[in-house]
Structure 1
Amino acid sequence: MIDLTGKVAIVTGASRGVGKGIARGLGEFGATVYVTGRTEKGEHLPAFLKETSIYQTAEEVTSLGGVGIAYRCNHAIDEEVEALFTHVMEEQGKVDILVNNAWGGGIHAWQAYFFHTPFWEQPITLWDDNYQVGVRSNYVASRCAAKIMAEQKSGIIINVSFYGGRNYLNNVAYGVCKASVDRLSADMAYELKDHHVPVFSLYPGQVRTEGMIEFAKHNEAIDIGAMESPQFVGRCIAYVANDHEAIKDTGKILITAEIAQHYGFTDVDGKQPKSLKAALW
């Protein structure tokens, strides 16, 4: 069993979905987790998301054994991101883990045009939102973290990506976003390696987020039981962050199922998820 007690993590976009699971996964190993995002109240959201918020996630982190701290931050606004890191340093004096998970494309994913529509018939805002919060926001947050971690000579940055960075998936804007995240990870890793700060892109598998659970109610072909839990993604990050030899693989793309196989742990339901690499790489 690993122990992240005393480690300070920032997880962006953690009100719900994969980000919430990441925060929970770090919290179960004792980490202090700053849960960032815009959602303070879910009343304006669809019914299946109304109970989601940065405060709810922070409470769950604490209930699992960590220290959850909610911090409202719009990751499309540089000044708010910079204020976040200033705040964390004032309270904690360090940053050990940054997980860039916030993604602006989610507001489009429920629209019919997101799938099976040529890019010339999609709104330009699809590109803008993928880039602004999904690539640029990763760069801004990582820039803030890197200044701290380079001085510390320690820390880790994880950028949540997906197989669309390797092969066509969903649409043009989505694929370019994920490929950019992967290149961002590789190049940041190159510059941070001498400071002993590893950087990785992380590919989850299919994850049973709130949205997928809701979608499955209307599509019998979706097998929720075969998917990874959001918390499993957090467990994967926890194990990598705890590995003092992780720097040797810095810049690589990591796959959640393969991380679990390597370190010998399972999902919260005891299952061993299978890598999607053979099908989607």
Structure 2
Amino acid sequence: MKSLKGKVAIVTGGSRGIGKGVALGLGELGAIVYVTGRTETGEGLPDFLKDTNIYKTAEEITGLGGVGIPYKCDHAKDEEVELLFKKVVEKEGRIDILVNNAWGGGAHVMGGYFFNTPFWQQPVSLLEDQYTVGLRSNYVASKFAAEVMTKQKQGLIINISFFGGRRYWNNVAYGVCKAAVDKLSADTAHELKDYGVSVFSLYPGNVSTEGMLEYAKYDKGIDIEKMESPQFIGRCIAALATDEKAIKDTGKILIAAEVAKAYDVIDIDGKQPESLRQQLW
């Protein structure tokens, strides 16, 4: 793939998980990556997440040859998001890539009701939090990114989504929000295409996040070796960011493993994961 040296990216929710992997995947090609999130220390986090924060991610980006810049931002607060984009433009003069990854459902996963519980027995806050950070936050960040990218006549916006947007997955609120993210990608792509700005929903496969690695310790049925690394998702986005012809498919839902095959992207273990389209689409 071509270098991303000099390109400016914003990755929301980059403290850990897929967001961190995306940031690393862009950073290893030399990009300037603003890592946003609320986590600055391990306070209040379970032990397996104690070492995850925006500063750690930024440090690893720089170690890979990119430029990692930590930026504390609560994506539930519009004024903080607006200030983020203002400061990035003031310092860098441009924004080339936005990856909307921040998700407000994390606190609910450990609540005992996220899985295998009918919607009428779940708190309404499950929908509200995923909507606020995961859908509305994507809209707001895309708005501020579009204001910059349309003037540049160039840019890439990726909304991290999942197969739950097309079939039942986890719970009703999760699926509703993911389906809405996919529609957001399609419609913003429609309005931005003439300005040279591409927008995609990207579906990862099964990803070996910190949480999944921890869970696998207690469930021997989980095969980490068959999963995609978080950094693999970043490499797939980097491939799209270096392809000037990618805009021909703008607005589509892309599956990371299929992007990898199209661009000959390999994971950090040297493998190329299989698409889950047949099982989950």
Hey, what does 1:65 align to over in structure 2?
A: 65
Hey, what does 1:269 align to over in structure 2?
A: 269
Hey, what does 2:108 align to over in structure 1?
A: 108
Q: Show CA shifts across 1:78-104 (max 9, x none).
A: 000000000000100000000000000
How do residues 24-173 of structure 1 correspond to structure 2 at under 5 angstroms?
Answer: 24-173=24-173
How do residues 209-228 of structure 1 correspond to structure 2 at under 5 angstroms?
Answer: 209-228=209-228
**Worse overlay, 235-244 or 108-117:** 108-117
Deviation for aligned residue 1:231: 0.2
Amino acid across the alignment from 1:47: D
Computed over aligned residues only, the root mean square deviation of the Cα atoms, in angstroms, reads 0.6
After TM superposition, what 4+ stretches of structure 1 lie above 3 angstroms from structure 2?
Answer: none
TM-score (norm 2): 0.99
Task: State the SS of the aligned residue for 2:187.
Answer: helix
Flag structure 1 segments of 5+ consecutive residues without an equivalent. none
Amino acid across the alignment from 1:64: L
Deviation for aligned residue 1:112: 2.0
Amino acid across the alignment from 2:115: F
Deviation for aligned residue 1:2: 2.0
Amino acid across the alignment from 1:55: Y
Deviation for aligned residue 1:43: 2.4
User: Residues of 2 paired with 1:187 and 1:96: CA distance?
Assistant: 20
- Aligned residue-pair number: 281
User: Residues of 1 paired with 2:76 and 2:5: CA distance?
Assistant: 30
State the identity %: 68
User: Residues of 2 paired with 1:265 and 1:90: CA distance?
Assistant: 33
Deviation for aligned residue 1:111: 2.5
Hey, what does 1:17 align to over in structure 2?
A: 17
TM-score (norm 1): 0.99
User: Residues of 1 paired with 2:16 and 2:136: CA distance?
Assistant: 21
Q: Show CA shifts across 1:160-213 (max 9, x none).
A: 000000000000000001000000000000000000101000000000000000
Q: Show CA shifts across 1:90-148 (max 9, x none).
A: 10000000000000011112232111110000011100011000000000000000000
User: Residues of 1 paired with 2:211 and 2:43: CA distance?
Assistant: 16
1:208 aligns with 2:225: no
User: Residues of 2 paired with 1:128 and 1:43: CA distance?
Assistant: 25
Task: State the SS of the aligned residue for 1:113.
Answer: coil
